Amino acid sequence: MAKALNAGLRRSLDDDDRVMLMGEDIGRLGGVFRVTDQLQAEFGADRVVDTPLAESGIIGTAIGLAMRGYRPVCEIQFDGFIYPAFDQIVSQLAKIHTRTEGAVTVPLTIRVPYGGGIGAVEHHSESPEAYFAHTAGLRVVTCSNPDDAFGMIQQAIRSDDPVLFFEPKRRYWDRADVDLDAAPTVGLYDARVVIAGSDLTVVAYGPMVATALAAAKEAASEGTSIEVIDLRSLSPIDFDTIDRSVAKTGRLVVVHEASVFLGIGAEIAARISERCFFQLEAPVLRVGGYATPYPPSKVEQYYLPDVDRVLDAIDRSLAVE
């Protein structure tokens, strides 16, 4: 996935001279996860910019550049470091288009490595996506595999809306074939049915898609057919794809790493309960992190949803007749 993102960024830089990258250590070092490796050497220090360690300054500067016609792409080094830039993002970036009655667009993409599972220290494994999905004026998306990473980052950069692009850091090393000559076949804000099923729908996004697929495979070995949907976009949410699936299966489990309390899953559960009330055979269930600060790495396996927790929710849903 890291190499796919690198290829997508390279393609965007090559296609549009207005695209530029900004972030801490993204140039000479190539980023902590090497996502921007060699891009400064190829495109120069004026287009791949090593910034000071000041997230508010990075985003504030990028907002100004975007208003002047550039298409900046900012890297937040780790999820927990985005909070110094929170005011710039929610008070300025999200509102400029509306504040100017449509006269000013802010085509800014913010890349955010997020989630746990890598044994990192404090503030390096958080899932802050719901803060931004709640904020009108921002687009929030997340990839789950290398192919989507390559296509979605290019779509985000081409968008005239500000996009928060969340990258599941524990999936950076996942491998898959990617056609670097192909154009994306799925819209940036569209969900995707990864595997079809008939007994129950599991909706997941980002790092949890692989976990959901593993749970579906285990369930299939016991005769249960699970449909897995990769949400891909968290704002807006493609409820139509979820509706069609739930109308077929009658049951829904939503999985994400972030805390279940007031998480993305809560919105999905509420909306699907409203929209599919007469099709649901059981309450919508959620599987996610606990309402606690992210724990030390030695015990993060007890915090992160795993295959067993997803299977438990599937069993509880199927037990309702």
Give the pairing of strands 139-142 and 233-235. antiparallel
**Residue 217: how many other CB atoms lie within 10 Å:** 13
Choosing from 97, 124, 134, 256, which is the catalytic residue?
Answer: 124
Tokens of 237: 């949410």
Rounded to whole angstroms, what are the CA distances from 264 to 108, 191, 278?
23, 14, 23
Q: Three-class SS string for 260-312?
A: CCCCHHHHHHHHHHHHCCCCCCCCCEEEEECCCCCCCHHHHHHHCCCHHHHHH
Q: At what angle do helices 307-318 and 208-220 cross, to 10 degrees?
A: 60
| Burial class of residue 65 (count of CB atoms within 10 Å of its CB; 0-12, 13-18, 19+) | buried
Rounded to whole angstroms, what are the CA distances from 35 to 60, 134, 151, 295?
23, 28, 15, 26
Identify whether the C-beta of residue 63 lies closer than 8 Å to the C-beta of residue 106: yes
Phi then psi for 240, rounded to 5 degrees? -60, -40
H or E element: which one contains 61? helix 55-67
Q: Which residues contact 300 (CB under 8 A, 6 or more apart)?
A: 116, 117, 119, 125, 294
Amino acid occupying residue 69: G
- Tell me whether residue 124 is one of the annotated catalytic residues: yes
The catalytic residue positions are: 124
